[in-house]
Amino acid sequence: MGAERVFELARHLTERDREVALCLYHQQLLTTEQLTLLFFSSKRRAQDRLLFLYRQRVLDRFYPPSRFGVGKPQAHWLLDEAGAHLVAASLDLDRRHLPWQRREDWGSHPQLAHRLAVNRFVTELIAAALDDPALGVTSWFGTREAATRLGERMRGTVRPDGELILLTPAGPVDLLLEWDRGTETLDRLDGKLRRYRMAEYKLKYEDDEPRSILFVLPGPRRLENVRELCATLDRDGSWPILATTATELHTAGPLARVWHRLDVDVPVRTLAELPVRRDLRPLDPALALGRRWRHERPGFWERLSPLGRTVAGEAEVDLRPSGIDGFMDDPEAKKEESWH
């Protein structure tokens, strides 16, 4: 994948393609349905464009093994080499300095189930927020980004599975996610809780805005175990520690009143009731993840022009499908397919 090939390919890519590549760089892998939710108006259009990006080596894909008789699983998408060049350029890095390398073993990787569970939770939260115009997930940071955002003083100490900014009517809520599959010992969980409390204390004088720590646990017994660990922490922390179980999430959804406060004795909460950050610039809920790439958004077709192409003042430019520039057919007469 030489420089000339990448330069030529960039003429056929769009701003949406760049965001897809950046998302997969940060989140490692996403399914067709999840990418449809985040970047497309229908599954058909998602499949068409993802296939184009796969053939151009912007993306790679694999199909995880499944039980006999359940049918072929949907594609799981990864970054590929051309996509890595695109990400490096977006981050103003030399490709050699981008901390990414192609993997061939994701189908059997020991962290596959964990990564899929984390990404499924986040995308289900994004989808649930679409039903309320006052709610929206405006940012989703992967493990590496979430750890970096806690600052140099906490480098290598706390590594959440992800960080989300949930926009609520009261303001933006900062969520640090920990997905627990019951494979860690209670001693390790205790150490993790204490590191979060230490992070809160170390950041207090330079950034006293609250974060909320979310644990998703495999069952009620594990939840009570974590509650007992939280009882040993000092009680003057300002970062709420909450938990729910995978069963409660599956039954009621992530926005329901299913989040148990573990560090203090208060009733069960919803995510919209958590402390808000006052230092974050308010964003328009219409630009939240899952909404910003809908075809009815103003300027949608202009944003699908090739990267670097100027469209201002070109009222006569046809932004409909072009085999040269890589535009996608998006006829409004077609009935929209919901990702659900």
pLDDT digits (tens, 9 = 90+) for 177-198: 999 998 889 999 999 999 999 8
248 backbone dihedrals φ, ψ, rounded to 5°: -60, -40
The residue with greater pLDDT, 234 or 265, is 265
105 and 116 inside one domain: no
pLDDT digits (tens, 9 = 90+) for 150-185: 876 677 788 999 999 999 999 999 999 999 998 889
**pLDDT in the model for residue 284:** 86
* Mean of pLDDT values over 44-65: 92
Alpha helices in 79-132 (DSSP H): 81-90, 112-129
Domain membership flag for residue 340: no
Domain span at 273? 111-291
Cα 175 to Cα 13, 81, 163, 229, 262, distances in angstroms:
33, 32, 6, 20, 15
DSSP assignment string, 169-224: TTEEEEEEEEE--S-S-HHHHHHHHHHHHHHHHHHTTT-----EEEEEESSHHHHH
40 and 120 inside one domain: no
Distance CA 302, CA 318 (A): 10
**pLDDT in the model for residue 11:** 83
Domain membership flag for residue 216: yes
Confidence band (pLDDT; 50, 70, 90) for 320?
very low
pLDDT at residue 234 is higher than 90: no
247 and 235 inside one domain: yes
Q: What is the CA radius of gyration of the chain?
A: 21
Residue 133: Cβ-neighbour burial (10 angstroms; 0-12, 13-18, 19+): exposed
161 and 90 inside one domain: no
Q: Which CATH number goes with the domain that contains 303?
A: 1.10.10.10
* Mean of pLDDT values over 310-319: 39
pTM metric for this prediction: 0.85
166 and 181 inside one domain: yes
Domain membership flag for residue 334: no
Distance CA 121, CA 99 (A): 25
271 and 312 inside one domain: no
